[in-house]
Amino acid sequence: MRKQRHTFYGNCPVEAALDIIGGKWKAILLFHILDGTKRFNELGRLLPGLTPRMLTTQLRELEADGVITRTIYPQVPPKVEYSITPFGRTLQPLLQELAAWSETHVKPRLEHTSSAGSPES
């Protein structure tokens, strides 16, 4: 079930942004969809830890918020594609900055942690 949406974001502007892209999977899904239109199963393969049910839920919420569009092609079997909207495209700089921050700050920490436990260190 969808979390309760706030009607006022006066306390913190980040709250409004996280209401749309918050959660474990949404930003990751958007990062992949920003690369180009994706099909449901393609997204599932990109995120093996994401169940089909949760993938459906997250995609529906992003669609309801106007971040992505869902296109259904009338064929057998049905073909469904997910694309970024112009509104969703405005999140691209933010997601690119998150990726760059992770490469600069998180990845080195993870590499240090994994090498610290190795017998060679």
Residue 77 maps to a domain? yes
Q: How many domains does the chain have?
A: 1
Q: What is the mean pLDDT of the chain?
A: 86
Residue 84 maps to a domain? yes
List the CATH number of the domain containing 19: 1.10.10.10
Q: How far apart are CA 35 and CA 84, in angstroms?
A: 9
Higher pLDDT, 31 or 117: 31
Q: Taking the model in full, what pTM does it have? A: 0.80
Higher pLDDT, 1 or 87: 87
Higher pLDDT, 102 or 120: 102
Residue 75 maps to a domain? yes
Beta-carbon contacts of residue 27 (< 8 Å; ≥ 6 apart): 21, 95, 98
Residue 49 maps to a domain? yes
pLDDT of residue 121: 45
Confidence tier at 1 by pLDDT (50, 70, 90): very low
Per residue in 33-67, pLDDT (tens digit) is 999 999 999 999 999 999 999 999 999 999 999 99
Residue 109 maps to a domain? no
> Which percentage of the chain shows pLDDT scores above 90?
60
Beta-carbon contacts of residue 28 (< 8 Å; ≥ 6 apart): 47
Range of the domain at 85: 13-90
> Residue range 61-76: average pLDDT?
94
> Residue range 71-83: average pLDDT?
93
pLDDT of residue 119: 56
